[in-house]
C-alpha cells in the first residue's frame, strides 16, 4: 500500500467526523479558520521566543532538529548514527513507514483529528534504530505565524528495541491574531526502549490549541512525557494517552500549567495498563490567575494483574475569579491491581507568608518562594542540561509573580 491508497481508505472516516466535538473542552467552529500552507518560509526573527520554549537554533547539545513554520517544513537534520529526522512527507515515501501512519491516533476521534487529516501537509518523523542510545535530545520547533491558520503537524516517533531517545518540542505563535494548532503525535516504543518527550508551549491569548497524542509501549518499554504551558491561550484541550501493551512497561506523565487571563484550559492524561507488571503515574501542577478556568483530568485503568498506577493533581488559586477543577479517575478491571490518587486545590497559606516574612523576605519574595516550591516536580528522565533549563524557566515564572 502507498500513501495515496492509505489516505483514500481513511478519508471517509475523517469526513464523517468533521462535526464531532471533543468530549471535553471548548468546542470550536472550524469554519472560522483556514487550511493552507501559510506564507512564512523560515524561523528568522523568532530566536527569542524559540529559546523560551527550549529550542536552540545553534543546535548545541542536540542530536537532531526539525523546524516547521505554519504548515511548511523549513529545516531537518540528524547528527547521530542510527537516527532519522525527516519531514513526514519525505518519510512516507517509504511504504514501511506507513505502518505507523494514523495507527495510534484515529482520524475520526473528533473534528480536530478529522481536520488535521484532511488538511495534512507536514510534521516530523523521528526514528531510532534498534540498540541505539541517542545521548543528547532531538529538538522540534513548531511555529505558527500566519493569522487565522490551522497549523496541523502530524508527528511520528519510533524508538527501536533497547534504544533511547529524548525529543524536545517547542511550540509558539508569533502573532496575537487568532489561530488554531492541532498537533497529532503518534509514539511507538519498542521492547526495552525509552522515549522521553518534553513539550513546552508559548502561545498567545487568541490562539486555540488541540494536541492529540497517543503512545504505544511494548514489553519493558518506558514512556516519559513532560508538558509545560506558561503563557495565556484562548483555549487548550489535550488528553494524551499511553497504552502499556507489554509486560513491565512503564509510563510517567507530568504537566505544569500556568493559566492566565481568560484562558480556558482542559488538560489531562490517561494510562491504559493492559499487560502484567506495568506501572505508571500522572502528576499535574496547575496555577490559576485572573479569570482563567482550568480542568485537570487524570485517568488510570488497570486491566492486567500486578499493575500499579498513581495520580497526583494539585492546584493553586491566585485569583478569586479563577477556577480549577481536579478530576482523578481510577478504573480497575481485575482484582490484582494497585491504583491510588491524591488531589488538592488551595491558595497560598497566610501562615506560610507570615513565616517567610518574619525571616526578612518581602511579601513578593515570600509568594515567589512558595509558588516555586509548588511548581517543583521531579524531572524524571531529563538530561541534566535540560533539567537545569526547565528549573530556570520555573524560577523565572515564580519570580515574575
Give the tens place of pLDDT for each residue, 367-382: 777 777 777 766 555 6
DSSP of 53-121, one letter per residue? TT--TT-TT-SEEEEEETTEEEEEEE-STTEEEEEHHHHTTSGGGGGGTTSSS-TTSSHHHHHHHHT--
Give the Cα separation of 296 and 212 in Å (integer): 16
- Domain identity same for 320 and 393: no
Distance of CA 142 to the CA centre of its chain: 12
Question: Cell digits for 334?
Answer: 481485575
Residue span of the structural domain in which 357 resides? 350-401
- Long-range contacts, 26-32 (Cβ 8 Å, 24+): 26/208, 26/235, 26/237, 26/264, 26/266, 28/111, 28/180, 28/208, 28/210, 28/235, 30/111, 30/115, 30/150, 30/180, 32/148, 32/178
- Domain identity same for 392 and 270: no
Taking a C-beta distance cutoff of 8 angstroms, is the pair 50, 43 a contact? yes
Task: Please say which residue of 332, 349, 366 terminates a domain.
Answer: 349
Give the Cα separation of 129 and 165 in Å (integer): 10
Q: Per residue in 170-203, pLDDT tens? A: 999 987 789 999 999 999 999 999 999 999 898 9
- Domain identity same for 382 and 258: no
- Domain identity same for 143 and 86: yes
Q: Which residue has the higher pLDDT, 39 or 296?
A: 296
- Domain identity same for 339 and 224: yes
pLDDT value at residue 363: 78
Question: Cell digits for 314?
Answer: 494539585
Would you call 147 exposed, middle or buried from its count of C-beta atoms within 10 A (0-12, 13-18, 19+)?
middle
Distance of CA 136 to the CA centre of its chain: 19
- Domain identity same for 279 and 362: no
- Domain identity same for 335 and 354: no
Helix axes 111-118, 3-16, angle to 10 degrees: 150
Which residues have C-beta within 8 Å of that of residue 114, sequence separation ≥ 6? 13, 14, 15, 16, 17, 18, 20, 107, 108
- Domain identity same for 384 and 250: no
Q: Per residue in 90-126, pLDDT tens? A: 999 999 999 999 999 999 999 999 999 999 999 999 9
The tally of domains found in the chain comes to: 2
Give the residue from 216, 327, 226 showing the smallest Cα distance to 278.
216
Report which DSSP code applies to 260. Answer: -
Q: Which residue has the higher pLDDT, 318 or 140?
A: 140
Which span out of 36-45, 129-138, 253-262, 379-388 was modeled with the highest average pLDDT? 129-138
Question: Cell digits for 113?
Answer: 483529528
Task: Please say which residue of 329, 349, 369 terminates a domain.
Answer: 349
pLDDT value at residue 359: 78
- Domain identity same for 337 and 365: no
- Domain identity same for 389 and 315: no
Helix axes 363-375, 350-357, angle to 10 degrees: 120
Taking a C-beta distance cutoff of 8 angstroms, is the pair 107, 17 a contact? yes
- Domain identity same for 341 and 376: no
- Domain identity same for 179 and 251: yes
Average pLDDT, the chain: 91
Amino acid at each position: 500500500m502507498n500513501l495515496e491508497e492509505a489516505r483514500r481508505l481513511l478519508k471517509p472516516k475523517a469526513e464523517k467526523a468533521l462535526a464531532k466535538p471533543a468530549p471535553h473542552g471548548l468546542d470550536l467552529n472550524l469554519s472560522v479558520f483556514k487550511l493552507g500552507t501559510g506564507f512564512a518560509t523560515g524561523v528568522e526573527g523568532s530566536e527569542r521566543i524559540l529559546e523560551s520554549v527550549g529550542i536552540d537554533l545553534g543546535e548545541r547539545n542536540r542530536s537532531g532538529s526539525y523546524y516547521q513554520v505554519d504548515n511548511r517544513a523549513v529545516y531537518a537534520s540528524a547528527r547521530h548514527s542510527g537516527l532519522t529526522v525527516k519531514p513526514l512527507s519525505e518519510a512516507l515515501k517509504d511504504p514501511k513507514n506507513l505502518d505507523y501512519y494514523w495507527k495510534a491516533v484515529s482520524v475520526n476521534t473528533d473534528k480536530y483529528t478529522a481536520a488535521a487529516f484532511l488538511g495534512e501537509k507536514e510534521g516530523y518523523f523521528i526514528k531510532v534504530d534498534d540498540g541505539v542510545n541517542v545521548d543528547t535530545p532531538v529538538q522540534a520547533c513548531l511555529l505558527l505565524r500566519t493569522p487565522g491558520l490551522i497549523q496541523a503537524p502530524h508527528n511520528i516517533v519510533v524508538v527501536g528495541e533497547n534504544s533511547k531517545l529524548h525529543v524536545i518540542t517547542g511550540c509558539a505563535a508569533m502573532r496575537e491574531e487568532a489561530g488554531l494548532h492541532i498537533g497529532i503525535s503518534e509514539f511507538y516504543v519498542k521492547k526495552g526502549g525509552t522515549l522521553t518527550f518534553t513539550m513546552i508551549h508559548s502561545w498567545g491569548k487568541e490562539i486555540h490549541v488541540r494536541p492529540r497524542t497517543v503512545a504505544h509501549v511494548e514489553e519493558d518499554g518506558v514512556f516519559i512525557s513532560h508538558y509545560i504551558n506558561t503563557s495565556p491561550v484562548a483555549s487548550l484541550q489535550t488528553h494524551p494517552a499511553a497504552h502499556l501493551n507489554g509486560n513491565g512497561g512503564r509510563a510517567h506523565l507530568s504537566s505544569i500549567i500556568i493559566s492566565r487571563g481568560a484562558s480556558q484550559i482542559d488538560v489531562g492524561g490517561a494510562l491504559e495498563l493492559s499487560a502484567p507488571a506495568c506501572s505508571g503515574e500522572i502528576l499535574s501542577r496547575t496555577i490559576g490567575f485572573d479569570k482563567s478556568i482550568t480542568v485537570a483530568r487524570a485517568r488510570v485503568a488497570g486491566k492486567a494483574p500486578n499493575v500499579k498506577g498513581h495520580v497526583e493533581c494539585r492546584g493553586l488559586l491566585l485569583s478569586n475569579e479563577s477556577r480549577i477543577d481536579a478530576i482523578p479517575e481510577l478504573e480497575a478491571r481485575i482484582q490484582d491491581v494497585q491504583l491510588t490518587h491524591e488531589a488538592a486545590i488551595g491558595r497560598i497559606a497566610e501562615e506560610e507568608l507570615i513565616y517567610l516574612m518574619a525571616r526578612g523576605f518581602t511579601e513578593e519574595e515570600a509568594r515567589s518562594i512558595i509558588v516555586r516550591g509548588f511548581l517543583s516536580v521531579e524531572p524524571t528522565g531529563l538530561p541534566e542540561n535540560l533539567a537545569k533549563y526547565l528549573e530556570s524557566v520555573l524560577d523565572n515564572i515564580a519570580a515574575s509573580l
